Amino acid sequence: MESSISTWVREAVDRVQVIDMHTHLFPPSFASLWRSGADGVLTYHYLIAEAIRAGGRSPEWFYALPPREQAAWVYEQLFARTSPLSEAAMGVVAIARAFGVDLKRDGIEGLRAALQDEPSDAYAERVFQLAGVDRVVMTNDPLDATERAHWLDGRPVHPRYLAALRLDPFLGDWGALRERLAAVGVSVSSAADSADLAEVRRFLEGWIARMRPVYLAFSAPPEFAYPTDFTASRVLDACILPLCREYGLPLALMIGVRRQVNPRLREAGDASGRANLTAVLRLASSNPEVRFFVTVLSREDQHELVVLARKFANLLPFGCWWFVNTETLTREISALRLELLGPTFVLQHSDARVLEHLVYKWRNARALAVDVLVHKYTQLAEAGWPVTRDEIERVVKRLFRDNFLEAAGAV
């Protein structure tokens, strides 16, 4: 029976077409925001931080280099001078192999020849096929000038790309939000009174109509709390949560990022911290009609999140984000979630920032699923349950796509 279970799990995992519920990717029609190719892969912020640590150069020296030289220097530090053993560096090897490149033999020029850096529907389709990904969810900021221009120009969005409206500017400093809103012709006062909040809600409502997001998203610091006397709490109560209820949109909370602990590293300078999950408890309990997608950045917060999800059916844990997206921790976290929630969570998301990341991130996620599910189904069979191929296929589909689609109302 054990060999049958292993075969059934592997076949189901290999076949499933993924819905990647959180990425930073854009369709080829958003050309200036598109990111792909060898130099993009090698200048991923994970690898930048590792290379600066390994190479003995300052961040200022590195960022003064042209992008092509940055990529070559990262390659020299992490691949030519040592073994690429980190999760991110090994991912580059996996991408190379998927495109028929022997990275050790062909080097960076072989990778550059194989990967395409120009926006292309055909190339995007090839990557989606290699990764076994059906659709991805973007991260969309209506206050970002470059992205805003694409939306306002009516650029077509390929059906493989779904929108998620990013709320970070709206749940941060009110003064900074006022400036950003003013830049797009929206005026609010320093008082953040009911009229101001109504204006913010109208603005967001207009962008919900334009983007048609599958959820609203907020990347929160460890100190995020609810309710509070701060303006962010009022924006949640007066704008965000009512919009979630009115439009049936989930609110995704990604909690625990500590921004710019080393600003010299720029995008690579963020770190993690312990979350205040009492905020999640209060949000889920006081808004039972709103669905909350939650992921946390600290390993120490994972158990508390899962226990909360047992108590609130409107809370859906998803993926292993950023610093917990490593082989050691994804296995531990996913097994814990199965043990306490059954298959009622989203196994993984890629957080991909470069198109080709889909290839290695989902290769790793599939290996994780096989490892954890073979173990659990073998235990289940030994306990006396007659495991079938069909039920394994149904559970795999739930973990990789259906749980998200159902919770997002996007079936």
Q: Residue 229: is its pLDDT beyond 90? A: no
Give dist(CA 333, CA 408) in Å, integer.
23
Closest listed residue to residue 360, CA positions, set 133, 158, 71, 21: 133
Give dist(CA 379, CA 187) in Å, integer.
60
Average pLDDT of the chain is 96
Give dist(CA 73, CA 51) in Å, integer.
8
Give dist(CA 1, CA 275) in Å, integer.
42
Q: What values do phi and psi take at 21, rounded to 5?
A: -85, -5
Residues 194-221 have a mean pLDDT of 97
Looking at residue 411, its pLDDT comes to: 56
Q: Which of 122-131, 228-237, 308-317 has the lowest mean pLDDT?
A: 228-237
Residue intervals of the chain classified under CATH 1.10.2020.10 are 37-115
Q: Where are the alpha helices (DSSP H) in 184-227?
A: 194-211
- What is the dotted CATH code of the domain comprising 2-33+133-408? 3.20.20.140
Residue intervals of the chain classified under CATH 3.20.20.140 are 2-33+133-408
- What is the dotted CATH code of the domain comprising 37-115? 1.10.2020.10
Residues 188-212 have a mean pLDDT of 97
For residue range 73-111, list pLDDT tens digits in order.
999 999 999 999 999 999 999 999 999 999 999 999 999
Q: Residue 36: is its pLDDT beyond 90? A: yes
Distance in angstroms between the alpha carbons of the first and the last residue of the chain: 34
Which of the four pLDDT bands, split at 50, 70 and 90, describes residue 3?
confident
